[in-house]
Structures are given as structure tokens and as C-alpha cells.
């Protein structure tokens, strides 16, 4: 299959890209790596009269660390993120999630902004952004604004980005102290989207009690989600007293829109999700203790 015909645009600045998006409205779509968009175009699941290529806009690429945060340009490809010593040191959850995305050729083209903006509920990067309370910068012809990750994912393949906005940058807070990060997922084959997965970031104090714990779930609903009630219940608990299997079940106990398809029922995915939470939490706690 081949996509329907379209007019190709390659702006030289982010502002020009935003202006083109405003000019063409619903008839236009932004493309960077194309690993999500091109299959949809080729299968004619989507069609646009104008494609606006932002892949070569250097202002939208790169990794920078400031006091307390790391900022990643939206067109930074996933392979670059996987190789980055800054990401590995300061945002380890993002580094650990990267090898789980597709296969290496996909990661050399796929971008972090494309993954997050595509908002697939079974994808790793949206879940990481949500788990770590990332901030997302959007650009339109009228200016820039910041969107909290908790408010960004609004439904199946939909986000809080307006039709005239481009995702330009994602900023992650840097956790310090005795911390641990882990991601666990189950898929039918290596490189497939996860049937169920969990991200965990945890911080423990000097008395080996949980000071902070963020738990993200993916593949278990129309959007990536946080197990906020379970997170709150763990704060102040001694890590020696934690029953990770029970915590895993508690984290998925309130899910109401778990998908079901030929790969597994909703009940099956929920059970797998509980196991993924338990595995990720175990690994994160072990890392925090060793820190």
C-alpha cells in the first residue's frame, strides 16, 4: 500500500512549522521520524493533504541538563536517547525504557516527541513521561505553553495538543537521593507493543522507608495511567514490610477500561499488569537500596 497524495513541506524554523500548521489546519500533519505516522498513511488509515517535516530542525533536537531537570528535544531520536550518558545518569527510567521500543532500526528513526504525541497507550515513552511528572512544551503561531504530563493524554491516540500546536520539548525532573527506577512489560514477541507494563520510580529515606513512589501503567487502558492510590499507600512504609505481589494487585484493582482482543482478555491483561507492577517495584527497590 502507498499513501494518498500529499504536499510535502520542510520548514527551516519551528516557528515556520507552526505557521504552516495554522495555515493548513486539519489538512496538515507534522512528521518527524515517521515510525508511527507512515504505517497509518501507507495503510490509508489516515490521510492528509500536507505533511510538515520537522525532523531537520536542529532547535528541536538534543539533550540538555539544567539544575534539577533534563530537557529532551522532541525530534531527538530514540537511539540517541539510548546512548546518552546524561539520560542514563539523570533520567534512568527513560534510558531503561528505550531498548524495549521496537527494534534498533526503528529507534534510529523514531523520535521521543513522535512517540509521546502519538499517545499510544501501550507505548513506553508516554508511560515514562507520566510516571516521572514530565512537562511538555508546545509551540503554536501564538506562542509557547507548558502542559503537565498528567493533563496531556486525553484518550485513545489523543492529547491536549491543540490542532495548531507542535510538541517541541519534554522536560524530566531529576530524582536525587536513594532512588530506584524500573520498567517491566509483557509482549508476545520482542519489539511488539506491550500487552501490559509498569514503570516505577521510588525514593527511600535513611531509615529504609518509602519517601516517594510513582507507579505508571501502560497497555491497560485507553491512556497511560498512574496508580495514585497505591502510590500514596506506600509512602512511609518500611521496604522490608512491603508485599510486592499484593501491591501489584492493588495497583490494577481499580482499572475499568482494560482492553481485550485476540491476544488476551481484560482479566488476563489485568493479572499480567499486577505481575509487571510487582516486578518493576522489586527491581526499583533493589536499586534504591544499593544506591
pTM of the model: 0.96
**Domain endpoint, select from 124, 149, 173:** 173
Condensed to tens digits (0 to 9), the pLDDT of residues 154-183 reads 999 999 999 999 999 999 999 999 999 999
Residue of 205, 209, 183 lying closest to 282 (CA atoms):
183
Question: Kind of pairing, strands 178-186 and 196-204?
Answer: antiparallel
Q: Which set of grid coordinates corresponds to residue 69?
A: 531537570
Residues 160, 63 share a domain: yes
pLDDT given at position 39: 87
Residues 167, 241 share a domain: no
The CATH number of the domain holding residue 267 is 3.30.390.50
The length of the chain is: 291
Q: How far apart are CA 230 and CA 250, in angstroms?
A: 7
Share of the chain above pLDDT 70, in %: 99
Residues 120, 191 share a domain: no
Q: Whole domain around residue 24: which residue ranges?
A: 7-53
Sign of the dihedral through C-alpha 95, 101, 105, 111: negative
Question: What average pLDDT does the segment 63-86 reach?
Answer: 97
pLDDT given at position 168: 98
Q: Is the pLDDT of residue 235 over 80?
A: yes
Q: Is the pLDDT of residue 1 over 90?
A: no
Question: What average pLDDT does the segment 267-281 reach?
Answer: 98
Angle between helix 266-290 and helix 244-252 axes, rounded to 10 deg: 130
- Mean pLDDT, all residues of the chain: 95
Is 145 a member of any domain?
Answer: yes
Interior/surface letters 137-171, b for 16+ CB within 10 angstroms, e for the rest: bbbbeeeeeebebeebbeeeeebbbeebbbbbbbb
| Total number of domains in the chain | 3
Residues 164, 64 share a domain: yes
Is 240 a member of any domain?
Answer: yes
Question: What average pLDDT does the segment 96-108 reach?
Answer: 95
Residues 134, 194 share a domain: no
Q: Which DSSP string do the residues of 78-133 spell out, in sequence order? A: HHHHHH-HHHHHH-HHHHHHGGGSS-HHHHHH-BHHHHHHHT-TT-HHHHHHHHTT
Residues 163, 63 share a domain: yes
pLDDT given at position 2: 83
The CATH number of the domain holding residue 108 is 3.30.465.10
Residue of 173, 154, 168 lying closest to 67 (CA atoms):
173
Is 2 a member of any domain?
Answer: no
Question: What average pLDDT does the segment 26-47 reach?
Answer: 90
Residues 186, 153 share a domain: no
Q: Is residue 257 very low, low, confident or very high in pLDDT (cuts 50, 70, 90)?
A: very high
Amino acid at each position: 500500500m502507498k499513501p494518498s497524495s500529499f504536499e510535502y513541506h520542510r520548514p527551516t524554523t519551528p516557528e515556520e512549522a507552526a505557521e504552516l500548521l495554522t495555515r493548513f489546519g486539519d489538512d496538515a500533519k507534522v512528521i518527524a521520524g515517521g515510525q508511527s505516522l507512515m504505517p497509518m498513511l501507507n495503510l490509508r488509515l489516515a490521510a492528509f493533504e500536507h505533511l510538515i517535516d520537522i525532523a531537520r530542525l536542529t532547535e528541536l533536537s538534543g539533550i540538555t541538563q539544567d539544575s534539577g531537570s533534563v530537557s529532551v528535544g522532541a525530534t531527538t531520536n530514540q537511539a540517541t536517547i539510548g546512548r546518552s550518558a546524561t539520560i542514563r545518569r539523570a533520567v534512568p527510567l527513560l534510558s531503561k525504557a528505550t531498548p524495549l521500543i521496537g527494534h534498533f532500526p526503528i529507534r534510529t528513526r523514531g523520535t521521543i516527541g513522535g512517540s509521546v504525541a502519538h499517545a499510544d497507550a501501550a507505548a513506553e515513552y508516554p508511560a515514562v513521561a507520566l510516571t516521572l511528572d514530565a512537562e511538555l512544551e508546545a509551540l503554536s503561531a501564538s506562542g509557547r505553553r507548558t502542559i503537565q504530563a498528567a493533563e496531556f493524554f486525553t484518550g485513545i491516540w489523543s492529547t491536549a495538543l491543540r490542532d495548531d500546536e507542535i510538541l517541541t520539548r519534554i522536560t524530566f525532573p531529576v530524582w536525587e537521593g536513594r532512588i530506584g527506577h524500573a520498567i517491566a512489560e509483557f509482549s508476545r514477541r520482542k519489539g511488539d507493543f506491550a500487552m501490559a507494563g509498569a514503570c516505577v520510580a521510588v525514593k527511600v529515606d535513611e531509615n529504609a522507608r518509602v519517601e516517594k513512589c510513582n507507579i505508571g501503567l501502560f497497555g491497560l487502558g485507553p491512556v497511560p495511567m498512574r496508580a495514585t492510590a497505591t502510590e500514596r499507600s506506600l509512602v512511609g512504609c518500611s521496604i522490608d514490610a512491603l508485599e510486592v505481589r499484593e501491591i501489584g494487585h492493588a495497583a490494577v484493582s481499580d482499572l475499568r477500561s482494560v482492553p481485550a482482543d485476540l491476544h488476551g482478555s481484560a482479566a488476563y491483561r489485568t493479572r499480567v499488569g499486577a505481575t509487571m507492577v510487582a516486578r518493576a517495584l522489586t527491581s526499583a527497590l533493589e536499586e534504591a537500596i544499593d544506591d
